[in-house]
Amino acid sequence: MNVSKSSYENFPLWIVLLTNQFSITIYLVGLYLMLNLGILFAALYVAYIILIEIRLLAKSCKDCYYYGKVCAFGKGKCFALFFRESKPENFLKTAITMKDIIPDFLTFIFPLIGGIVLLLSNFSWLIIVLW
């Protein structure tokens, strides 16, 4: 059996768009739910998303091979604009713990809680469909 590997030095734009579609959809649905709770909740949610994205760039992209290149998420180029270059050989040495993952999960847990609050306060089929 002949197995060949395919890799990209720079990922095509369609892959970047496809991989980011999921996160963007979660952010937009979350923003919609938070807007229904109030503008303050929506503003806090947007600020949290921005902080999470900056944290992701600073922590996860720091030593990536795709620094300055187009990775599957398109963040390699972004990282190069805002942060200094690091050593790709350190990438696999980074330990990922639950403490690192929980803030990412909160980007959809906050809207989930907001959706539950909205359901309890006023029933709406639109909220159920988006939830």
- pLDDT, position 124: 66
Q: Which residue has the higher pLDDT, 33 or 87?
A: 33
- pLDDT, position 1: 45
Residue-wise pLDDT for 53-82, tens only, equals: 888 877 777 778 888 888 888 888 778 777
For the CA atoms of 110, 111, 113, 119, the dihedral, rounded to the nearest 10 degrees, stands at: 170
Q: Backbone dihedral region of 61: left (phi > 0), alpha (psi from -120 to 50 degrees) or beta?
A: alpha
pTM of the model: 0.75
pLDDT band at residue 4, thresholds of 50, 70 and 90? very low
Percent of the chain with pLDDT over 90: 24
Residue-wise pLDDT for 40-58, tens only, equals: 999 999 999 999 988 887 7
- pLDDT, position 34: 93
User: In this structure, is the dihedral angle defined by the CA atoms of residues 49, 101, 30 and 120, taken in order, positive or negative?
Assistant: negative
Cα–Cα dist 104/56, whole Å: 9
pLDDT at 108 over 90: no
Cα–Cα dist 86/68, whole Å: 11
List the chain domain ranges: 13-130
